[in-house]
Structure 1
Amino acid sequence: MEPPRGSWLIRLIIFTTFSVIFVGVHGFDPRAYDAEGGKEATCDAVKRTVTLSRTAKGAISKSKDALVVENEETVTIQIRYIDINPTAEKTILMIHGWPGMWSTWAYQIGEFKNDFRLIVPNLRGFGNSTLPGNMRSSGTMQDLVSDMMCVLKHAGVDDVICMGHDWGSQICYEMGRARPDMTSAVVGVSIPYVPAARSFTPTTSYVKFIPRFMYQIFFDEQTTKAVAELDTDIRRSLRAIYRSLKVSTPDGFFKKRDTFLGPFGSKEVRFSLAEAGAMLSEQQILPIIYLTPEEEDYFVEQFEIQGFKSTLYFYATENRYQSWKFPHDQGNHTISLPVLTVNPSKDLLVNWKLVAFVLRSSKYIPNLTTETVPGDHYPHMESPEAFNTVVRTWMSKVGLFRSEPEEKTRAADEL
């Protein structure tokens, strides 16, 4: 179907306007930061082979024998991280989500680099950070927390404010729960705390209530097909995922069990400002409006190092089950630290405020502050000024800018 007359011009004006706004005030050079502050930590990691029962995969599992670890061995992996302002007294650890890289924290790096030391890693399997083995069983929340502990040890840091987005939020929440000896506060962006107090819920159960999580089943059940689709054109894949309230998204996006990018169509025509006179079809995907062209190029190059296969461990049922089982068996689900959860105003995926209410997240975080910032799934990138203001205000309120923080009682190390 031919798009309405003039629609290409409207989309071009929207893209150009907001790109100029973001690019004009930004000026972030990821290559310079990588060259100046890039470091690598050699970390011990567990390479394991597991078998998960059909019950755990297909229904809510209450069986303690649902997962069998067939083999475990310790191997070494490399975790790449950027170290900024290493002489600062206090440190923020910034953890990206999927599909992220350290550079997606550009606006927060610019905001906080003069006040804090910033440790900004690429998670295992992303960029130059390696994966220990099977992505289906060697990427639990506890594995990722262990990686972060290794990075902090390598950097000589023993206390951080953990700031995470998307899956990075879950890593920070788990750090706050299990490693309060190393964590002074948590900032979770877009995703609320998901306590493991209840029975394990496989993805197939909650897509009935959150239909836009169907893509997670595709990633889990048809991983090879998903990787092939995502890796065909990494730039196009990233552009599709890094959406915004200011750019329209096909209605079926995220809702398919047999494809991820299918709703965008199979035809790809690369778009640039030089092609301003070209008609834009529904198959075309605009550049990421809150990244400069140089940032997007760097982002794509980093993803091309390993592709998407090594990043999909978040969605594997085996990893999700192990991530749930560890804290569930421990029985302690409370995060006693100051926690800030920042919700986007209109996430295409789901209403996260409602999810937090259903999960009773606040029950397990006695010192919780919840704020909302305009944006889809990436409020720290879409509305960086509003986001940074919210974070700074909260930090001041809970005393994180003071040289000597208020004395607090920390729970015992649970790892």
Structure 2
Amino acid sequence: MDPKNPASFNHRTKKLSTGRTYHFVDQLPDNYDHKRSPTLLCVHGFPDFWYGWRYQIGPWVRKGYRVVVPDMLGYGGTDKPEDPSEYSTKKLCADLTALLDLLGVRRAVLIGHDWGAFTVGRFALWHPDRILALVMMSVPYTPPSRQYIPVEEVARLAPNLGYQADFANPTTTSELDTHLERFLSITFRTPTANENYTSRGSLFKLLQVSEVPRGPSVLNDSEFNQYVDEMRRGGMNGPLNYYRTAKHRYEEEAHAGLPADLPENLPVLFMWGTKDLTATPFVIGKARKFIRKLQDIAFEGRGHWVLVEAKDEITDRVGSWLQGLTSRPNSKGKL
């Protein structure tokens, strides 16, 4: 399991009971025992793929965990439906449950970054009987809305989320496909860089700028090329479809009557960078209202891409937190 060599991981591709085909990395520890070795199911965000977890997989496996990392719907070697309704979190969570079924895993620790954080938070609502503990990174928990709010209105109320309205526009697909390297170079800039596209319309202005050197990035050249190749191969329509699901998500959640609070006894860890424009103390504070057992860890001076920017700290802190869950007085000795 060499982070510099994607082929060194154990890759699998299987059709799930939901009818969708998923590519995923499935890494087992030495002396794996399916009854005793906890499974960590890691869910990436936008624009990412399994590769985003390359620095965490090996160390967590060496700590005795089974680590499963899928390419989420629309990415990598996984199916890429054209219809945005296929990307609702209800359907994504059904896929993740089907993946656990395929692996013979009853309950797992769910770990998510960015859109993955949102998805694993919803997994805890849709399938509370399948989750042992929850780790969310960079995107704080938000409860199901009691009324539908169009993404354009969200962008008006919270200008730092204006990019979501841009991504929801179907014309953005061709824009990003055309200017893919430029888009990815902006996306993976370090938090000290001046370029960002959080306000509405700013992305398109940045994409029209003449090509310039990549500048300060959280990725080295080899890693950056991995992302360019992967996103170019699959195209940006699938990844962008996540931002086109607001109405579908609202209708499914309202129909199911999903609760606002996460399960009372569910341990939850939130990890974030203090330079991340999408994770602010205000929204983290709001999340506390809905999570009884929330712990949070802030990484000073880090931005959105904490899996890379704080790779060693993420690896160690998650491992220590999970170990702590098994050593508490009321613990049964295992997750």
Q: Same fold (TM over 0.5)?
A: yes
Distance in 2 between the 1:387 and 1:32 partners?
A: 22
Partner of 2:325: 398
CA positional deviation for 1:306? 1.5
2:106 to 158, 161, 166: 158
Contact 2:82 2:238 in 1 (8 A): no
1:80 to 23, 35, 42: 23
Partner of 2:304: 377
CA positional deviation for 1:29? 1.6
Show CA shifts across 1:298-354 (max 9, x none).
2222212221011112211xx212223333341423222111011211213x34321
Distance in 1 between the 2:325 and 2:13 partners?
A: 32
- Inter-CA distance 333–38: structure 2 relative to 1 (3 Å threshold): same
1:122 alignment partner AA: D
1:125 to 71, 74, 84: 74
SS in 2 for 1:372: strand
CA positional deviation for 1:405? 4.1
Show CA shifts across 1:163-186 (max 9, x none).
000110111111122212211000
Show CA shifts across 1:141-174 (max 9, x none).
1111011112212222221110000110111111
Partner of 1:30: 6
SS in 1 for 2:249: helix
1:147 to 68, 92, 95: 95
Alignment of 1:42-61 (within 5 A): 42-45=15-18
Q: Using structure 2 for the length normalisation, give the TM-score.
A: 0.87
Distance in 2 between the 1:176 and 1:400 partners?
A: 23
Partner of 2:239: 311
CA positional deviation for 1:201? 2.2
Contact 1:77 1:132 in 2 (8 A): no
Find out whether 1:341 has 2:289 as its counterpart: no
- Inter-CA distance 239–139: structure 2 relative to 1 (3 Å threshold): same
CA positional deviation for 1:406? 5.8
Contact 2:46 2:114 in 1 (8 A): yes
Distance in 2 between the 1:400 and 1:154 partners?
A: 30
Distance in 2 between the 1:82 and 1:372 partners?
A: 28
CA positional deviation for 1:77? 2.2
Distance in 1 between the 2:195 and 2:11 partners?
A: 38
Contact 2:23 2:71 in 1 (8 A): yes
Contact 2:22 2:79 in 1 (8 A): yes
1:323 to 249, 262, 267: 249
- Inter-CA distance 132–400: structure 2 relative to 1 (3 Å threshold): farther
Contact 1:31 1:298 in 2 (8 A): no
Partner of 1:232: 178
Find out whether 1:170 has 2:118 as its counterpart: yes
Contact 1:41 1:79 in 2 (8 A): yes
5+ unaligned residues in a row in structure 1: which ranges? 1-25, 46-75, 269-282, 409-415
CA positional deviation for 1:287? 6.7
Show CA shifts across 1:94-117 (max 9, x none).
100010110111221132121211
CA positional deviation for 1:407? 9.0
SS in 1 for 2:271: strand
Q: Using structure 1 for the length normalisation, give the TM-score.
A: 0.71
Distance in 2 between the 1:392 and 1:220 partners?
A: 36
CA positional deviation for 1:384? 1.6
SS in 1 for 2:156: coil
1:30 alignment partner AA: P
- Inter-CA distance 373–91: structure 2 relative to 1 (3 Å threshold): same
- Whose radius of gyration is greater, 1 or 2? 1
Contact 2:177 2:236 in 1 (8 A): yes
Contact 2:82 2:237 in 1 (8 A): no
Find out whether 1:297 has 2:246 as its counterpart: no
Find out whether 1:112 has 2:55 as its counterpart: no
Question: How many residues of Structure 1 are paired with residues of Structure 2 in the alignment?
Answer: 323
1:250 alignment partner AA: E
- Inter-CA distance 407–212: structure 2 relative to 1 (3 Å threshold): same
Partner of 1:186: 134
Root-mean-square deviation (CA, aligned residues, Å) is 2.5
CA positional deviation for 1:383? 1.4
Identical columns (%): 24
- Inter-CA distance 380–245: structure 2 relative to 1 (3 Å threshold): same
